[in-house]
């Protein structure tokens, strides 16, 4: 009986520790060792064409130079963008955003995050976001939580704009 309890406890902790691999600091989602945000968003009253058009409008108003960030544009089907967001005055996070469109829904995939930090003078360091724990001073989870919040703001703004129904 004691062996069974011990075995159960060991198994519980082993399963629990494997579950933690799916996020960084419990907030930033990972898949196959990479930070990855992805979701299918229902948009009941919008065609693929309307969703695609709304996504282009959002991207054009979000990024300074739309032509510079567009990597792929397949009309009414998908957009792939390479963008970035500022975390603070000396740090940006670069990313790849792919948005796929079907009638009444779209899917976003946000991945390939690169953390770029200004060290001094004109020196920068770039690393995949997955490898930046311990990279910044202070508590690394505080930095990850801040980055996750910024990324989720971008996602929310994007989803809200793409789902916008223009009755005019």
Give me the helix-helix angle, 48-62 and 140-162, nearest 10°. Answer: 130
Give 64-104 pLDDT, tens digit per residue: 888 899 999 999 899 999 998 887 788 888 999 999 999 99
pLDDT at 34 over 70: yes
Give 97-152 pLDDT, tens digit per residue: 999 999 999 999 999 999 888 877 778 888 888 876 555 556 778 878 888 998 99
pLDDT at 166 over 90: no
> What contacts 37, CB < 8 A, 6 or more positions away?
29, 108, 109, 110, 111, 151, 152, 155
Q: pTM for the whole thing?
A: 0.79
Interatomic CA distance for residues 48 and 102, integer angstroms? 5
Q: Give the tokens for residue 110.
A: 């946000």
Beta carbons of 27 and 144 less than 8 angstroms apart: yes
Q: Which ranges in 42-116 belong to alpha helices (H)?
A: 48-62, 66-69
Domains and CATH numbers, the chain: 20-162 (3.30.530.80)
């Amino acid at each position: 009986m004691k062996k069974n309890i011990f075995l159960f406890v060991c198994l519980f902790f082993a399963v629990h520790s494997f579950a933690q691999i799916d996020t960084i600091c419990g907030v930033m989602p990972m898949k196959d060792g990479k930070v990855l945000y992805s979701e299918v968003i229902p948009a009941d009253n919008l065609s693929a064409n309307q969703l695609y058009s709304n996504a282009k409008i959002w991207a054009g108003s979000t990024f300074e130079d739309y032509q510079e960030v567009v990597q792929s544009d397949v009309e009414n089907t998908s957009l792939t963008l390479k963008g970035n967001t500022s975390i603070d005055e000396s740090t940006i996070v670069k990313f790849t955003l792919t948005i796929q469109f079907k009638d009444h829904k779209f899917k976003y995939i946000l991945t390939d995050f690169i953390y770029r930090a200004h060290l001094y003078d004109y020196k920068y360091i770039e690393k995949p976001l997955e490898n930046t724990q311990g990279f910044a001073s202070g508590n690394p989870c505080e930095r990850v939580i801040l980055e996750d919040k910024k990324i989720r703001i971008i996602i929310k703004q994007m989803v809200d704009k793409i789902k916008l129904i223009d009755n005019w």
